[in-house]
């Protein structure tokens, strides 16, 4: 079976790579590199990288042809490209190797459905099966991939991309340079019901969702519309796959929401909050600026600016770690307590006799 390449091969010298990423070369700058691989799998024609000391220590045993490293001392026989920020250098190099994304060309595909009164900016690309509703607006350079949908009166800003199957429902507002991954839904109803005589009745949601500039969503995430006002995601926030943001949630600028997070209704996240994978945030709580939550944390109360929390329910991460370490000693402690209790009972019985 022939396995196609993930991306076209592009050969570069170590010096050309260094010039591209703004680094300096130690060793043979003329060596040719034909791709990128991890430290443990790279062969003599591959470039690898060491973003931390753990990976840097593995370079001595690596077969890679060259490596991008930081400024710290590294023991390796291969040519090294020294940079200030390894992750930034790798991102720039990967962008060069990846080339253009597989996006539809500018224009409206014959199978797309665009309302006559929709406003379509210059250079917009609307792919196969995409739908643009009445009075909707797509800014210049926007892209709707196959089967993406923009509802009536929705606004999509300049150079924003809706990937395959992404949905921006009626009345929602999406800023500029936003990326919305496949099958992500912006603006479906919030999960709200009242119960009367044993029957759950739906509560209509008449608010919308506002996504500010430079936000990115992975695949299959959801942002619910507000019950009265707007659910909002702040500029520069990055949202992973399978994240749920409920009605009237306010997410600040520059936040990182990792996969399978769930944020319940009317919670407020400050700027640059980080939620590790699987974190749950209950309704109506506030997380201050710079809060960091370890994976699978359960946030049940407000968290002050800059706090690092973990656990269920979440508490200060250092205290939770101490409790976890202590819990490993519980079986021995219980055994010793039982032994001490037996000795005490024996002593009391002897005293009574």
Do 12-98 and 107-318 come out as alike in CATH topology? no
Q: Is the pLDDT of residue 193 over 70?
A: yes
Per-residue pLDDT, 353: 64
How do residues 147-161 score in pLDDT, each as one tens digit?
999 999 999 999 999
* DSSP SS3 for 325: helix
Domain ranges for the chain: 12-98, 107-318
Q: Which CATH code for domain 12-98?
A: 3.40.1390.10
Q: CA of 303: how far to CAs of 266, 278, 314, in Å?
A: 15, 18, 9
Judge residue 30's burial from the number of C-beta atoms within 10 Å of its C-beta, 0-12 exposed, 13-18 middle, 19 or more buried.
Answer: exposed
How do residues 285-324 score in pLDDT, each as one tens digit?
999 999 999 999 999 999 999 999 999 999 999 888 888 8
Question: Which of these ranges, 49-53, 98-102, 142-146, has the smallest mean pLDDT?
Answer: 98-102
Per-residue pLDDT, 1: 52
How do residues 334-349 score in pLDDT, each as one tens digit?
888 889 998 888 888 8
Active site residues: 247
- Give which of 206, 198, 251, 203 is closest to 225, Cα–Cα: 206
What mean pLDDT value characterizes the chain?
93
CATH of 107-318, picked from 2.160.10.10, 3.40.50.720, 3.50.50.60, 3.40.50.2000, is: 2.160.10.10
Q: Is the pTM of this model over 0.85?
A: yes
Q: Is the pLDDT of residue 257 over 70?
A: yes
Q: Is the pLDDT of residue 169 over 90?
A: yes
Which residues does residue 250 pair with via DSSP β-bridges, in sequence order?
Answer: 232, 268
Q: Which long-range contacts (CB under 8 A, 24 or more apart) does 176-181 make?
A: 176/139, 176/213, 176/214, 177/213, 177/214, 178/211, 178/213, 178/214, 178/215, 178/216, 178/217, 179/215, 179/216, 179/217, 180/217, 181/216, 181/217, 181/218, 181/219, 181/220, 181/221, 181/241
Q: Is the pLDDT of residue 5 over 70?
A: no
Per-residue pLDDT, 6: 47
């Amino acid at each position: 079976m022939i396995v196609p390449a993930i991306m076209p091969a592009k050969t570069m010298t170590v010096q050309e790579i260094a010039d591209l990423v703004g680094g300096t070369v130690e060793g043979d700058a003329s060596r040719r590199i034909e791709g990128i691989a991890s430290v443990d799998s790279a062969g003599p024609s591959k470039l690898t990288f060491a973003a931390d000391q753990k990976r840097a220590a593995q370079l001595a045993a690596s077969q890679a042809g060259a490596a991008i490293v930081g400024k710290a001392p590294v023991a390796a026989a291969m040519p090294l490209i020294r940079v200030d920020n390894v992750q930034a250098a790798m991102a720039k190099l990967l962008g060069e190797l990846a080339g253009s994304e597989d996006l539809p060309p500018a224009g409206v595909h014959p199978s797309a459905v665009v309302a006559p009164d929709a406003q379509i900016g210059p250079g917009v690309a609307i792919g196969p099966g995409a739908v643009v509703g009445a009075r909707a607006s797509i800014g210049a350079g926007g892209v709707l991939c196959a089967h993406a949908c923009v509802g009536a009166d929705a606004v999509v800003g300049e150079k924003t991309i809706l990937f395959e199957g992404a949905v921006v429902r009626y009345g929602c507002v999406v800023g500029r340079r936003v990326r919305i991954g496949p099958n992500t839904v912006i603006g479906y109803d919030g999960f709200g019901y009242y119960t009367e005589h044993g029957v759950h009745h739906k509560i209509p949601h008449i608010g919308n969702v506002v996504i500010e500039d430079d936000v990115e969503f992975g695949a299959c995430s959801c942002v619910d519309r507000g019950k009265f006002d707007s659910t909002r995601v702040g500029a520069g926030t990055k949202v992973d796959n399978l994240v749920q943001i409920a009605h009237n949630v306010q997410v600040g600028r520059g936040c990182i929401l990792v996969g399978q997070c769930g944020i319940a209704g009317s919670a407020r996240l400050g700027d640059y909050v980080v939620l590790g994978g699987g974190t749950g945030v209950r309704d109506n709580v506030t997380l201050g600026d710079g809060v960091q939550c370890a994976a699978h944390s359960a946030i049940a109360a407000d968290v002050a600016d800059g706090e690092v929390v973990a656990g269920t329910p979440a508490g200060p991460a250092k205290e939770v770690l101490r409790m976890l370490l202590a819990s490993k000693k519980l079986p021995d402690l219980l055994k010793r307590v039982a032994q001490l209790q037996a000795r005490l009972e024996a002593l009391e019985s002897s005293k009574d006799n």
